Structure 1
Amino acid sequence: MSTRRYRRRSRIPLTQGRKPMNISRRLLWILGPLLGMVAGITATLLYLGDEAELGRLSLEAVSDAGHVPSHQHRTYVCPMHPEITSDTLGNCPICGMDLVPAKHHEEDAGGDSGRPAVRIDPEVVNNMGVRTAKVRRGKLSRRIDTMGMISKIISTRNVEVSPGIPGRLEWILEKDQGDIIRKGELLYTVLSPERIRAQEEYLESWDAQDNELLPQLWKALNAFHFSGPDIKRLEETREIERIYKVVSPQTGALIQRLGRPGDRVIAGSPVYTIGGYYKVDVNAEVFEQNWAWLKFRQRAVISIPSVPNGVFEGFVERVNEAINFKTRSLTARLTFRTLNPMVKEGMVADISIYARPREGVLYVPRDAVIRTADEERVVVAMGDGRFRPVIVKTGVESGDKVEILEGLEEGQSVVVSGQFLIDSESSLSASFRRLDSE
Structure 2
Amino acid sequence: MKRETFLKTVLFTVVSPSIIIAACSEKEKGAKGNASLKTFTCPMHPQIVQNKPGTCPICGMDLVPFNKNNKDKGLTLSKDQQALANITTAIIGTEGFEDNSYLNGKLVVNPEQTTFISSRVAGRIEELYVKETGVSVGKGQAIYKIYSEELLTLQEEYLMALAQSAQFNNDRRFQDIHKASKQKLILYGQSDTQIKHLADTKRTNPYITYYAPQSGKVSEISITEGQYVSEGATLLQLESYQRLWVEADVYPSEIGQIKEGQTLKVMVAGWENDPQDMTVEFITPNLASNEQILQIRGSIPNLDNRWQPGMQANIMLSKKSSSEYLSIPINAVINDGDTQHVWIALDNERFEPRKVTTGLESFEQVEIRSGLKVGDTVVVTGAYLLYSEYVLKKGKHPLQDV
What is the TM-score of this pair, normalised by structure 1? 0.42
* Bigger RCO of structures 1 and 2 (CA < 8 A, at least 6 apart): 2
* Greater helix proportion: 1
